[in-house]
Amino acid sequence: MTEYFSNIVMILSKYWKVFLVTGVKNTLILALITVFFGALLGVLICLGRMSRFKPLNWFLIAVVEIIRGTPMLLQLYIGYFIVPKILPFNVTDFMAVAVALCINSGCYQSEVFRSGIQAVDRGQTEAARSLGLSARQTMGRIVLPQAIKNILPALGNEFIMIIKDTSLASTFFVGEVMTSYLVVKGTTFLTMECLMITGAIYFVLCFLLSKLLGGFERRLKAHD
């Protein structure tokens, strides 16, 4: 036990930069990129699914179901190999994996948006339309402002999920926390100790974020 502890201290004093600087930085960058572009993509998919143009509906339903019905690791592999072939400029591994993560997250987030919008009582739409507001005005002034309150907490959860999911990107050595683990384990051969450190980092990141979002949610509720 004491040996474990002294090993962890040793690893941290020697390799803390690999974990806390390179690893955490890349994990956070990857997660932020994924959340941001995933949200953009999510809004677009959600709008497309609510449009009256049926072929677009069907196409997007198919895409979302395929993404939800296949493992993320498989999607990362496909992204890793396909994205550099499709995009005309030089694509780093990091970017290729990020694109795959964004598409995955976009599909999940589109469902969050959709359910948040659908959770707004139909009576709200009917009341707004009965006053003579257009569909667009009703969406913008009545439905979306109420949907945001349903959406934000679920989006926070998605953010936490993404932080953990970025660990899958270590398969391609893109430099996030899980890659730090692989690197340090590879030189020290202290597997268990490195895993403990890595786990602690993920836990602290997710726990802090969860508390932060909780506080934000309470402020939203207090506003009611």
Partner 1 sequence: MIKTVDLHKSFKVADKKESLHVLKGVTEHIKKGEVVSIIGPSGGGKSTFLRCLNMLEIPDSGHIYFEGVDITDKKIDINQHRQKMGMVFQHFNVFPHLSVMENITLAPVLTKKKTQAEAEEAAKALLERVGLLDKAAEHPGRLSGGQKQRLAIVRALAMEPDVMLFDEPTSALDPEMVGEVLDVIKRLVESGMTSVIVTHEMGFAKEVSDRVLFMDDGIIAESGTPSEVFNTPQNPRTKEFLSKVLY
The residues of the shown chain that bind partner 1, judged by CB under 8 A, are 121, 123-124, 126-134, 137, 141-142, 145-146, 224
Task: Say how far apart CA 156 and CA 158 lie, in whole Å.
Answer: 5
Closer CB to partner 1, 118 or 134, in the complex: 134
Closer CB to partner 1, 141 or 218, in the complex: 141
Closer CB to partner 1, 36 or 121, in the complex: 121
Quick one: tokens of 185? 């384990």
Residue 208 corresponds to which amino acid? L
Residue 134 corresponds to which amino acid? S
Residue 191 CB, nearest distance to partner 1 (Å)? Answer: 53
Residue position matching structure tokens 């995955």: 104
Do the Cβ atoms of 166 and 101 come closer than 8 Å? yes
Residue 124 CB, nearest distance to partner 1 (Å)? Answer: 6
Closer CB to partner 1, 6 or 134, in the complex: 134
Name, in order, each residue with C-beta under 8 angstroms of 173's C-beta and a sequence gap of 6 or more. Answer: 93, 179, 182
